[in-house]
Structure formats: structure tokens, C-alpha cells
Amino acid sequence: MTRDANSALSDEALLLMLRSGHTSALHEIFNRYHGRLYKTVMGVLMDGELAKDIVQEIFIDLWNRRESADIQLLQPYLISAVRLKALSGLRKGKVKAQHLAMMERIQFVNQTEDAINVQELNHSLRLVLSQLSPRCKEVFELSRFENLTHKQIAGRLGITPKTVEVQIHKALTLLRKKLDKAIIISIIALFG
């Protein structure tokens, strides 16, 4: 049969031809399903070369087991076979090293970005804090950087807790005016 004649056949007819040893049936099954199977494996492994290998192995296995395999529905059988093979590959660690390397690269980029953002944040914060009076700056730093309570700050500096509250309010007001909202949110998250 020709390619066009085979393409009109049902999966059941192709399976019968395959069991009889017709390579043209295997070619048609391959043409019909390799794209879907490749996408299925890629969804699990995210590795094009390994996905191609697994799909090829499934078709080789289909041919080798053509006489003994009890396949009722071709498409579900093939999809199930590639999923199992892909998951087996994950378990055996074939792609583990690649995924770990990719995760390490992503983590490094994120850490670098975070470090740059923290440096920028610290610089902006120090710049604004330098505009505060020495007492206001000291109160703010004790509150936010050393995590002291208003009462502890008052005791250390010999001022009232109300004065501490007023100084912190002044510092936060200046920060809100000078820094954009994203930095304010970061400061609250970091030192809140």
C-alpha cells in the first residue's frame, strides 16, 4: 500500500498490518503520532534530543513487540508508553544533571539580582537617612536595624517613648517622600 492509502486506514487496520509485519504500517503510525509523542515527552523532560530518543525507542519497541503486544487502542497506548519512558528517564537521572545545572544557573542569576537590588536599596536608604537629623537617624536605625522596641530605645537614649515614636514617624515620612513605593515595600519587607 502507498503512503496515501495507509493514511486513510484506521488505527485498528494499521495495527493488524503491523502485526503481519508490514513496515508501511509502522511508517504510517510514526507519521501519524510522532509529533504528539514528542510534545508529550518534551512536556516532561524539556530536552529535545532526549525526547527524540525516547520517541524513537517507543517505535522500535512497537515494531519489536508487534506480534506479542496486546494493543487495543493505539494512541492511548503510545502516549502512555512515552510518558512512562520519560518518567523512567527522570527517575534514572538521565536528565537530572541537566535540570540541576539549569536550576543552579537560575538560582545564581536570582541571587545576583537580589544582591544588586539589596545594594541599590541600601544605597538609597543610606542616602535618605543621611538627610535626617542625627537623633532621628539614630532612633530609626535602632528601631529598624537593631529591632529595639520604643521603650528600649527610649531607655538607651534617655528620651520618652513618645519622642521615639515621633522620630520614627519623621524618618518614615521622609522615606516615603524620597523613595518610590517599590523601595518602601522592600524596606518594610526587609526590616519590618
pLDDT at 187: 54
- Classify residue 103: in a domain, yes or no: no
pLDDT digits (tens, 9 = 90+) for 177-190: 776 655 555 555 55
Number of domains in the chain: 2
Boundary (domain end) residue, out of 61, 94, 127: 94
| 68 and 148 inside one domain | no
Mean pLDDT of the chain: 80
pLDDT digits (tens, 9 = 90+) for 14-46: 989 999 999 999 999 999 999 999 988 887 777
pLDDT at 109: 55
Residue 59 scores a pLDDT above 60? yes
The pLDDT confidence band at residue 152, using thresholds 50, 70 and 90, is very high
| 115 and 52 inside one domain | no
- Classify residue 30: in a domain, yes or no: yes
| 39 and 64 inside one domain | yes
Measured distance between the N- and C-terminal CA atoms of the chain, rounded to whole angstroms: 75
The 3-state secondary structure of the chain, one letter per residue: CCHHHHHCCCHHHHHHHHHCCCHHHHHHHHHHHHHHHHHHHHHHHCCHHHHHHHHHHHHHHHHHCCCCCCCCCHHHHHHHHHHHHHHHHHHHCCCHHHHHHHHHHHHHHHHHHHHHHHHHHHHHHHHHHCCCCHHHHHHHHHHHCCCCCHHHHHHHHCCCHHHHHHHHHHHHHHHHHHCCHHHHHHHHHHHC
pLDDT digits (tens, 9 = 90+) for 76-124: 888 888 888 887 777 666 555 666 565 566 566 556 656 666 677 777 7
**pTM of the entire predicted model:** 0.48
